[in-house]
Amino acid sequence: MASREKQLMQEFRKHWLSLGVALFSSLGSQGAAADDNATFAEVQPRAITLARAGGEGEGLGEGEGEGEGEGTQSPEQNIKHSDVAYLSRLGLIRGHLLAGFTLYQQGHADMAATHMKHPEDELFTNLEAALQHRNAPPFSEELSALSKAVTKQADMDKVKSAYKNLDEALQAVEARAQPSLRTTLLSIRNLVRTAGEEYAVGVRDGTVVNVHEYQDAWGFTQLARRRLDHLDSEQRATAPRAVARVEQLLADLDSLWPELAPGDTVDGDAARLFGAAARIEIAALDLQ
């Protein structure tokens, strides 16, 4: 990512406190806190604490401090020991791949190729130790096969087959985490927050200035929804109201992407993603 874009992402992280305070003020006025059986007076102290801290795992970005409050550890240590970090990194990889695969299906082969290269070159870094720690099978061969199929503009059947093989490999890798509902929601929070950072780089004042980051944000948010959709009945029964709340928060974000390959303008604001991430964080941290 270009240095200017990284600088912008850092600026948005610095503004997390102001976004958090504004968000939680709106929670009080809209009565959203009641969704979690708590009054605004009960939620507010926790909310302000989270805003000051930037939430657990501040500075997620792509491959940065993804764990729960483990910012002093190296990225490799975070991903190795934290299931939140591990699932967040896998979600980012999946998000890139989903954006690329969907673009390829829509006939945008050149755009698709940029997303297929990205995970293999950047996000696989520091993941090997985490896979070994969990006795998870590597998936580099499946990742390379999909990347080559897309970059060489293979026929759709071959690309679909490569994507299916990689998807199955990633499912096996994710299954090694065996996360609680709380861990799953925190990984979803990370994906949505990172989507906000990417959207902020991709869209400025309604103008699409970086379509790749705009598309990444879509991919990360779609992966967040899929991760929630794949909860089993036992996990859902743990906190059905929290799950329903997060489902609605994610569904409400769809209008940010009227098209995956848009024109010059879109009616969207990254603040909606940051706000959703904060609300998901509250839902997750209320769980044991």
pLDDT digits (tens, 9 = 90+) for 51-85: 333 333 333 444 343 445 444 566 567 888 999 99
**Mean of the per-residue pLDDT values for the chain?**
80
Q: Per mean pLDDT, which range of 21-25, 46-50, 110-114, 231-235 is the poorest?
A: 46-50
DSSP string, 11-26: HHHHTHHHHHHHHHHH
Q: What is the pLDDT of residue 278?
A: 97
Over residues 257-271, the mean pLDDT reads 96
Say how far apart CA 144 and CA 52 lie, in whole Å.
Answer: 41
Q: What is the pLDDT of residue 140?
A: 87
The pLDDT of residue 214 is above 50 = yes
- Give the closest residue to 83 by CA, choosing from 128, 134, 12, 15: 134
| Banded model confidence at residue 126, pLDDT cuts 50, 70, 90 | confident
Q: What is the pLDDT of residue 119?
A: 61
| Banded model confidence at residue 288, pLDDT cuts 50, 70, 90 | confident
Report if residue 165 sits inside a domain.
yes
Report if residue 172 sits inside a domain.
yes
The pLDDT of residue 198 is above 80 = yes
Q: Domain limits at 114?
A: 64-178
Q: Using CA of residue 72, residue 84, residue 269, residue 47, what is the dihedral sign?
A: negative
Which has more confidence, 253 or 144? 253
249 within 8 A of 273, measured Cβ to Cβ: no
Q: What is the pLDDT of residue 50?
A: 37
The pLDDT of residue 17 is above 50 = no
Report if residue 271 sits inside a domain.
no
212 within 8 A of 199, measured Cβ to Cβ: no
Over residues 20-33, the mean pLDDT reads 41
Q: What is the pLDDT of residue 122?
A: 64
Report if residue 211 sits inside a domain.
no
Report if residue 186 sits inside a domain.
no
Over residues 207-213, the mean pLDDT reads 97
Which has more confidence, 186 or 14? 186
Q: What is the pLDDT of residue 120?
A: 56
Q: How many domains does the chain have?
A: 1
What percentage of the chain carries pLDDT values higher than 90?
65
Report if residue 5 sits inside a domain.
no
Report if residue 237 sits inside a domain.
no
User: Between the CA of residue 216 and those of 17, 83, 91, 108, 133, what are the distances in Å?
Assistant: 24, 22, 11, 15, 28
The pLDDT of residue 229 is above 90 = yes
Over residues 264-285, the mean pLDDT reads 96
What percentage of the chain carries pLDDT values higher than 70?
71
Q: Per mean pLDDT, which range of 2-6, 177-181, 264-268 is the poorest?
A: 2-6
Say how far apart CA 99 and CA 102 lie, in whole Å.
Answer: 5
Report if residue 105 sits inside a domain.
yes
173 within 8 A of 181, measured Cβ to Cβ: no
List the Cα angle 265/209/97 in 5-degree steps.
100
